[in-house]
Chains A and B, each alone.
Chain A
Amino acid sequence: MVKKVHESAAAALADLKSKGVLRDGMTVLVGGFGLCGIPEHLIKALRDTGVTGLTCVSNNAGVDDFGLGLLLQTRQIRKMISSYVGENATFEQQFLKGELEVEFNPQGTLAERIRAGGAGIPAFYTATGVGTPVAAGKEIREFYRPSDDTTFHNRTPGATSGTYAQMAPKVAPRGADHPRRREYVLETGLYGDLALVKAWKADEFGNLVYRKTARNFNPMMATAAAFVIAEVEEIVPVGAIDPDAVHTPGNYIDRIVKTVPEKRIEQRTVRKA
């Protein structure tokens, strides 16, 4: 079996420059929502490799001194693709000075772009963002909502002939009150050169199990990059994870590293005793 387990985050990245995986200007997918479920040691190790000009795909940008904020401080990130970056003053300064490029994606569109990228789907239509700045310059097309179209009219948008037309029944779609088509915007799949993900547990093949809401973007990112490294809290022998309990199958994972994460909390909120 290929040895995937590495001794430390630094060791997991050590030979990746010589292998051509790590290079300036590359696109890196980084899992997590806020500071929850981020590969915190892999982020530090990536910083220490000195690679620059990165495009980082991550829902958020960390805080000033933790998570992706560390790579912002050292100016290794050229561009962020995110849905929300509210908690980071370094980010704001660099953005306002024009040193950092930002592409905002609606959170669900970002998640689906990554899912699609990993699933070999180059583009998809979504209603999210129609009529907003997000849709500017993108292709718009009308469809029925899938839930209004159990008679498959979406199979023949404007088609006059062909196999699908013969399949489509000649009755109006269900939902007579709202038979209107609505507009959808074409969004593209997203795939990276490297993905850094965080899971709770891995076996030595790379089967991953996530924990609670630390799952978030990690499962899709694990499928959507040429090289994928997983940071986990526990590594067990192959066979120790029930196949029914595996969230990410091990074939997606190139390297595994066990760490003791700090797991910083952004908004510690407790109920009154």
Chain B
Amino acid sequence: MPLTRDQITQRAAKELHDGFIVNLGIGMPTLVANYIPPGMDVWLQSENGLLGIGPFPSEADVDPDLINAGKQTITARKGASYFSSADSFAMIRGGHIDMCILGAMQVSQTGDIANWMIPGKMVKGMGGAMDLVAGVRKIVVTMEHNAKDGTAKLVKQCSLPLTGQNCVHMLITDLCVMEFDQGKQRFVLTEVAPGVTVDEVKQKTEAEILVSPNLRTVST
């Protein structure tokens, strides 16, 4: 059984550690915030200038001056800080953020990521994605293993324009978990979803991948 979006999200949340400073991308990655284990202190950064995102506000607490990078109204947690966009991206580029979880349209076997434009379609812009993948210490990509038409998204070389090169550390899909080996410059299959075989993963992957000798089943 492939993982549901919820299970992918839960698996991504297992990468969090106490005290981590984390930036969550728009969409599925945002939901990781719902699975931060109780008692674990994780600080969420929003690139529009907030460290310490709190829960969504009650109707009475909605403040137009307090939004996240997805332009949603939010709250700030106790101990939060506000800063300018220049300071925010200094934090990002300077390696002061421990982890970023974001989605992708394509990932290459050497850790390149493409997630901001499709040639021929209206380009909306990269926002902060290029800065995040270039600067954050650990980049975790969550995505469906294959596109809706079945084509591979983990490919030898991205056909789409890149967001960043050689920057993805971990990949969590509905089929498996892979970690990037810096020395071998390839992804290593470390976990498969319950009932999913190595052969199935390989068949649905265009990229050349390695298989860990300690292959496990994904636990969420």
Q: Which positions in A face B, CB cutoff 8 Å?
A: 33-37, 59, 82-87, 92, 95-96, 102, 104, 106-112, 114-115, 126-134, 145-147, 178, 200, 210-220, 263-271, 273
B112 to chain A, nearest CB (A): 7
Contact A219 B63 (CB under 8 A): no
Within 8 Å by CB of A106, from B66, B73, B128, lies: B128
Given contacts A107-B131, A265-B73, A267-B72, contact A145 B67 (CB under 8 A): no
Extra 6 A-B pairs, beta carbons < 8 Å, given A83-B128, A266-B67: A85-B125, A95-B122, A108-B93, A132-B161, A270-B73, A273-B58
Contact B74 A36 (CB under 8 A): no
B134 to chain A, nearest CB (A): 4
B103 to chain A, nearest CB (A): 15
Q: Which positions in B face A, CB cutoff 8 Å?
A: 46-50, 55-59, 62-68, 70-74, 76, 82-86, 88-90, 92-95, 112, 117, 122-131, 134-135, 161-166, 182
Contact A112 B130 (CB under 8 A): no
Q: Which 9 A-B pairs have the closest CB atoms?
A: A108-B89, A108-B131, A131-B165, A84-B125, A263-B64, A106-B130, A86-B124, A107-B128, A269-B72
B220 to chain A, nearest CB (A): 24
Contact B57 A270 (CB under 8 A): yes
Within 8 Å by CB of A216, from B76, B85, B112, B129, lies: B85
- B83 to chain A: closest residue by CB: A215
Interface of B is mostly: loop
Complex CA–CA separation, A128 to B196 (angstroms): 37
Give every chain A residue within 8 A of B82 (Cβ-Cβ). 210, 212-213, 215
Complex CA–CA separation, A211 to B66 (angstroms): 9
Contact A216 B84 (CB under 8 A): yes
Complex CA–CA separation, A104 to B126 (angstroms): 8
Give every chain A residue within 8 A of B55 (Cβ-Cβ). 271
Give every chain B residue within 8 A of A112 (Cβ-Cβ). 86, 89-90
- A145 to chain B: closest residue by CB: B95
Give every chain B residue within 8 A of A96 (Cβ-Cβ). 122
Contact A132 B64 (CB under 8 A): no
Contact A213 B89 (CB under 8 A): no
Given contacts A128-B93, A213-B82, A269-B56, contact A37 B127 (CB under 8 A): no
Complex CA–CA separation, A16 to B50 (angstroms): 36
Complex CA–CA separation, A76 to B73 (angstroms): 31
Complex CA–CA separation, A110 to B73 (angstroms): 24
Instruction: Give me 9 A-to-B residue pairs in the complex whose CB atoms sit less than 8 angstroms apart, sorted by A's number.
Output: A33-B85, A95-B122, A114-B86, A131-B112, A133-B117, A134-B126, A210-B82, A216-B85, A270-B57
Given contacts A111-B84, A132-B163, A270-B58, contact A213 B50 (CB under 8 A): yes
- B163 to chain A: closest residue by CB: A132
Complex CA–CA separation, A200 to B82 (angstroms): 14
Give every chain A residue within 8 A of B130 (Cβ-Cβ). 106, 108-109, 128-129, 132, 134
Give every chain A residue within 8 A of B89 (Cβ-Cβ). 107-109, 111-112
Complex CA–CA separation, A85 to B71 (angstroms): 13
Complex CA–CA separation, A64 to B46 (angstroms): 25
Give every chain B residue within 8 A of A214 (Cβ-Cβ). 64-65
- A109 to chain B: closest residue by CB: B131
Complex CA–CA separation, A86 to B129 (angstroms): 14
Give every chain B residue within 8 A of A215 (Cβ-Cβ). 49, 82-84
Within 8 Å by CB of B73, from A92, A109, A268, lies: A268
Complex CA–CA separation, A218 to B49 (angstroms): 11
Complex CA–CA separation, A273 to B60 (angstroms): 11
Give every chain B residue within 8 A of A107 (Cβ-Cβ). 47, 85, 89, 126-128, 131
Give every chain B residue within 8 A of A266 (Cβ-Cβ). 67, 71
- A198 to chain B: closest residue by CB: B65
Give every chain B residue within 8 A of A267 (Cβ-Cβ). 67, 70-73
Complex CA–CA separation, A27 to B183 (angstroms): 47
